[in-house]
Amino acid sequence: MALFIRKEGCLRKGGETKMFRKLIKWIKDFGKRWLILFVVVVLIMGTAGFYQAGENLVDSLFLALVLFTLNYADHPANLLINISRYLAAATTVSAALVVIHEIFLHFADDMRARKKGSTLVLGPEEEVAPILDELGSLGITYKEKFVNAKRFILFGSDEENLGFYSRYEKRLADKEVYIKTDSLPGLLPGEGGLRFFCTEELAAQDFWRSYPLMEEAFEKAPSPDRISMDIVLLGFGRLGEEVLHYALQANLFHPAQKITYHVFGDSGKFARTHTQLKELRICVHENAWYEEADLLKHADRILVLDQEEQASLINELFSVSPDYKLYVFSAIDLDPSFLLQHRCGTIAEENLVMYPWKVKANTLGNIVAADLLKKAKRANFDYELQADPKLEDTEENMEKAWRGLNTFTRYSNLDLVYFNEIIRNLREHYKDMPREDFARLLAELQHMRWNNYHYFNNWSYDPEPNPGEPNRKKNAARRLHADLVPFDQLDESEIKKDIVAAGDLLK
């Protein structure tokens, strides 16, 4: 009987495959079911055997129970008793091994939790497994008790995660706690070591870094000022919204470009809760994608977001045209070869890019190290240092300055450094442009990005956002700003400041 099984998630080695973990889980569950079955069989057979031997029913049941104590030494009166005593012995030994194994796991978890970097990871298997593989021997996922690890990563629902944190808040006070949020911003302020992260946000950031649009945009356009592209999103939800958000921050190559984002799917709420879609060149289609065959045929990219019956949708798309260029956001790391064997004919391999968005997003680098977040904090603090030269440049002061920001300003800083990373290679496409002109171009693109960020968050232009206070250009409470205009319409002082800041990027 395979009952002495490794507890799922404990004593884990980094090289274990997902299939092997599933096999362990199946065997463990199978063993428990057989253990219960054998107890029932022994009770039934033993009771029947002793009853046949002349005992009354109550005494027969008692004697059958005694078999599990392994002290039956009499010569069995019949075959049923003989079989039952051996089954009872095997069941008792297996149960004892399971208990010993559980005690060992508790001890092993406690020992491993003492190590620097030990991390308790809780949540659905498909999200927990990749992180545990990265952690190796430092990874723990033991749900039956609280393990005093150094760090905690919670992948459950908002209710499960916040419930866990609420139950153990005092014990988590001095720990690093990373909580996945499904419905709230990932940069929510947190006290002490509490941090939030959003898988959809991290995936969207990673996607445009992994599959940048820059080379494709310049390759297809006869000149930078004539860049024109159509990006189609099939499916929507939180993932679609984040993909759009970071596309508008990343895909900025020339002030005259015309990159339009077409959204198909359940996006009605998005269209009605975002008031500046026209300014952002986002077109929400109420009709089905197959009613816009010409648009899809000429689209530069079709992003198939994670959704039900995704494989069926891919099949239907390739039925219409084998030339569609699909980027498929898959919840799992999937071999796409079977999707290329279509009834209408074989599909070119380069026309199907599988992007396992949860696997790419939920890495230790993204969640714990958070390199982009660190750069955002640094950018914000550099601004603070310029404003107050007496401020000491320390890690503590940098964190304090970041904690003082609201969520809107935090994302503004994050998007700034994200954009700066994405456009590193932009200079290669403007080799003949003088440095001064290129600095102005960068400043204008940066202003476009800033506009996009505000428009996406429902800010509007108002030449006098604060009546009676002409020097104040913004009204955060009403989401109004006087600088939500084209770059050339800014005050000359503002233009010069932006050009100087852009020039710093070239150093």
* pLDDT tens sequence across 25-70: 554 555 566 777 778 888 888 888 888 888 888 888 888 888 888 7
Are 32 and 4 a contacting pair, CB within 8 Å? Answer: no
Q: What angle do CA 63, 66, 69 make, to 5 degrees?
A: 165
- What is the token pair recorded at 200? 């959809």
Q: Which domains does the chain have, with CATH numbers?
A: 1-111 (no CATH), 225-361 (3.40.50.720), 406-505 (no CATH)
Q: What is the DSSP letter of 115?
A: S
Give the pLDDT confidence score for residue 187 in this predicted structure: 85
Structure tokens at 62: 């008692």
- Look at residue 352 and give its three-state secondary structure: strand
Q: Which has the closest alpha carbon to 122: 99, 97, 102, 151?
A: 151
Q: What is the pLDDT of residue 114?
A: 63
Q: Which two tokens stand for residue 15?
A: 């090289």
pLDDT recorded at residue 16: 41
pLDDT-flagged residues of the chain (< 70): 1-33, 73, 101-114, 142-144
Residue 15, pLDDT score: 40
- Rounded (10°) CA dihedral 209, 213, 214, 215: 110
Any residues with CB less than 8 A from the CB of 283 and at least 6 apart, and which?
260, 261, 262, 263, 277
pTM passes above 0.85: no
- What is the b/e burial string over 339-349, where b = at least 16 CB atoms within 10 angstroms of the residue's CB? beeeeeeebee
The maximal CA–CA distance of the chain, rounded, in angstroms, is 107
Q: Residue 44: name the closest of 84, 78, 94 by CA.
A: 84
Question: Crossing angle of helices 18-52/57-66, nearest 10°?
Answer: 140
What single-letter DSSP state applies at residue 458? Answer: T
Calculate the alpha carbon distances from 160 to 179, 279, 392 in Å: 10, 39, 40
Of all residues in the chain, what percent are helix, strand and coil, respectively (each to 5)? Answer: 55, 10, 35
Q: What is the pLDDT of residue 80?
A: 83
pLDDT attached to residue 4: 27
Token couple for 297: 């045929």
Adjacency order of strands within the sheet including 119-122: 139-140, 119-122, 151-154, 176-180, 194-197
